[in-house]
Chains A and B, each alone.
Chain A
Amino acid sequence: MTTDAELVPSMLKEYGDITRVALCEYLQPREPRRHLYNLVADYPRRGGRMLRPSLCIASACAFGAARQDAVRSAVALELLHNAFLVHDDVEDESDERRGQPTLHALHGVPVAINVGDALTLVGLRALIDNRKTLGAQLAMQVMEEAERMARETVEGQAIELGWRRDNATHLSDADYLDMVLKKTCWYTTIYPSRVGALIGTRSNRDLDRFLRFGFFLGAAFQIEDDLLNLEGDARQYGKELGGDIWEGKRTLMLIHLLRAASEDERARLATFLAQPRRARPLAEVQWVRDQMDGYGSVEHARQVAHALAGAALHEYEYLYAGLRDSRDKRFIEALVRWVLERT
């Protein structure tokens, strides 16, 4: 029998493979290839853990659906996720994605933005095709969920971009969680678990409850992701280590540091954050990193992530404990621990 530690990687691979096969249908080469469709397939083909589609399929199966019923929704999610990534990389001026140069670094910002738009439309196609397996009514409900997910995500992104643009330095943990709820949780964990339940139960009753589970799991995931950006394994992480500090990203660690630092240090931080990314000196990036250790900001964020993961387990009990035992159900539970243990 598969242990919890093995279950998550094995099911991520299993459901990831199913999603990749279905994804190929939507990434067929066609014209114009050079500046569009070859590039549309770039990020999806770079790999990735396939967390979101796997959670979507597992949630549907845990509630009694056949895998095939959830695959197109999982494909759409993966395509929309990649569309967000392309645009995020432009907005964040990121250099690396999944261990390779970002799309805009390779092909320029205008082409990258257009590729991101195309990925969104391809994702929309997958949602429309849901009619074939789910019927028109359920497909429309999934579509509405996807529209809300996309809207919440761009609203969250707007909040974060606004913080950077206005050089916000007086943020609280609650502000951070508000932003993460929209920017990360909706498309990483809330939408997959809600749509899975929607497909599995053929009913949109009680979907609000999935907001709590998805929020706690997604927020723990995001904080842990930000921690990995500071101290993860560079090869496995796939993005530049310390990139969030270079970008001035308002992570929980930075927000804690801004709160805990002395007045002089806070002024130095504000000056650093006010500079454009390319103008930020390496020595100052290193200084910020050292302060995060010195003030226990990294430790604080880790503790918050652990606490939120605990709350996710609590909400899991409510949502899934009454369902019959299955690999999918155990996978969703094990995912909470995996979020904290991944490297």
Chain B
Amino acid sequence: MSSKERVKRPKLERTDPIRVWSTLFGIPPSDGRTAGVKPGAAGRADGSASLQDVMSRSVELGYRVVDEYIRQGQQAAQRISERSYGPEVMTNDMQQFSVRMAQHASDLVGIWFEMVQLAAGSAFRPPSGFADGIWPSPAAASPTRARPSAAPEGADHTSVKIAVASVRPTEVSLDLRPHAAERPLVVHALRAVDPDKPRLSEVSFDGGSAAAPATLRISVPADHPPGIYNGLIIDPESSRPVGSVSVRILAE
């Protein structure tokens, strides 16, 4: 090497950290254990696509199991709380019913405006006083019911817009990390626990920036079987999950 020649750094194979969800804890050891695996064995020899799939499915399955467990617990609690029905309880229920009916009307108008906005492609905004589809997240939202936020004190909030098109009562539960909605997000087709049920594929995120939070759009086909459908929300930049969405389609 000539003394005049400048010493240059070799070109790097990559310039960013590897932020791949599946290697969060390092690649699981493949020290010969997967060598010579039998047909039907878990994972391909290179452990690449199959590994991603196993990890993604495992997390989805985990959320389905625990969310179904929580739902059953909530139903049990509701049944217990409904056992005593004195006049006071009835009055409270009537008040709650009125509030819920007002909420339904407000939500439906909000969705209608959302649809008009979509069709017109304009910045048409619903009048104040109606729900405009923006809920604080993490939260649950739906055209028919809304679950109160489960965020503990001290947690940051972010906003996300949810647009649901469904002819049947549908509940949407959305969990997002703080500020996750301020960047583009990806959500794959939602799956039910029952593998025979079709996936809910018309689910997508639009937008997503610090100025304009993301919009989660869900369209439920009229003939889609009732049930709970879950999916992960992925930050495409880091390939890491930043939340989950659960859609419960109720029977008529």
Contacts and interface: CB of A to CB of B under 8 A. Distances in A.
B88 to A, nearest CB: 23
A299 B177 contact: no
A209 B59 contact: no
Interface string B50-70: 010011101101111111011
Contacts of A321: 155, 178
Most B Cβ at <10 Å: residue of A174, A219, A296:
A296
B30 interface: yes
A19 B246 CA distance: 40
A29 interface: no
A308 B58 contact: yes
B150 to A, nearest CB: 5
Interface size for chain A: under 10, 10 to 19, 20 to 34, or 35 or more residues? 35 or more
Interface in A263-300: 293-300
Given A181-B66, A260-B41, A310-B55, A299 B156 contact: no
Most A Cβ at <10 Å: residue of B36, B41, B70, B152:
B152
A311 B51 contact: no
Contacts of B73: 208
Contacts, number: 138
Given A295-B42, A297-B42, A314-B241, A303 B28 contact: yes
A260 B40 CA distance: 6
A35 to B, nearest CB: 40
Nearest to B195: A172
B144 interface: no
A92 to B, nearest CB: 24
Most B Cβ at <10 Å: residue of A201, A322, A337:
A322
Contact of B42 (A209, A260, A337): A260
A74 to B, nearest CB: 21
Interface of B: 21-22, 24-25, 28-30, 33-34, 36-38, 40-43, 51, 54-56, 58-59, 61-67, 69-70, 73, 138, 150-156, 175, 177-178, 193, 241-243
Top 10 closest pairs, chain A to chain B, by CB: A300-B42, A296-B41, A322-B154, A307-B58, A307-B55, A322-B155, A296-B42, A304-B58, A260-B40, A177-B65
Interface of A: 173-174, 177-178, 181, 197, 201, 205-206, 208-209, 211-212, 215-216, 219, 256, 260-261, 293-300, 302-304, 306-311, 313-314, 317-319, 321-323, 337, 340
